Amino acid sequence: MTHAPPVALTIAGSDCSSGAGIQADLKIFQHFHVHGLTAVTCVVSETANIVREVHPVPVAIVADQVSLLLDSFPVAALKTGMLFSAAHVRAVADILARHPGLALVVDPVMVASTGDPLLEPDAILAYRELLFPLARVITPNLPEAEVLLRDKIRDEAALEAAALRIAKMYGTAVLLKGGHLATDDCLDVLADDNGLHRFRDERIPVAGSHGTGCTLSAAITAALAHGESLPQAVRTGKKFLGNCLRHSYQFTGADGKIVHALNQSTASASS
């Protein structure tokens, strides 16, 4: 019998274009030789260009998926993506609180790359009070961090200070992504018990960024499932994301519009 791989769970929305959400997460888990599980929170009609409809899965069904999977599999790490509402956040947090010791990566998905909202406003408080304190790491981008802090982050010095503030506020490690800063390269900052870890990479010029947050958080989750330390898992995730961006491609639809996609395949996006 083949030795079983580590198990990772994603609790997130379904992206029909497969660039983000559970579809992207499963591709990435497979790349890293992790057995991927899914608990679907929303069904989203979207592409990299538009979010057309969001249909939330009933909270009881989401909770049943999560509890069944945690009882049935030796989950080593998990991530949350799009949770949509305060009720969904509360239900997930209540279950995860009964499973201490899991490596939880919280990607606080608030807004799509198109600018469309993906989180109901009252859910932010539930994140703050219930889910963030359970996390091994949270992975906000710059606009999400500005929402959490109710403050603007205008440069790299402010980015580093913000990561430390958020980590202190919620008692967890924070990977604050600085790709939205107007700089020649990209600085991401990890604040944890050992202080600040800086990850500086070249800015890769691609037309589309749909799914970058999901891709990075899923890769970090897979690396944690394999037992990597958090700083090493971040390095692993960032290397993988860089390869996905470098090998991105595009499609032209029947409507004549171009859809850009990250290349999350095992063929070219090597870890």
Residue type for position 205: P
* pLDDT score, position 270: 53
pLDDT band at 266; cut points 50, 70, 90 = low
Q: Are 222 and 7 in contact (CB under 8 A)?
A: no
pTM of the model: 0.95
Per-residue pLDDT tens over the stretch 138-154: 999 998 899 899 989 98
Tokens of 240: 């993988």
Backbone angles phi, psi at 268, to 5 degrees: -120, -20
Q: Are 84 and 77 in contact (CB under 8 A)?
A: no
Arithmetic mean of pLDDT, 174-199: 88
Q: If DSSP codes are grouped into helix, strand and coil, which group holds residue 8?
A: strand
Lowest mean pLDDT among 45-59, 110-124, 204-218: 110-124
CA–CA distance, 249 with 5 (Å, rounded to integer) = 30
CATH class of 7-261: alpha beta
Query: What mean pLDDT is reported for the chain?
Result: 91
Tokens of 244: 């996905």
Domain map (residue ranges) of the chain: 7-261
Residue type for position 192: D
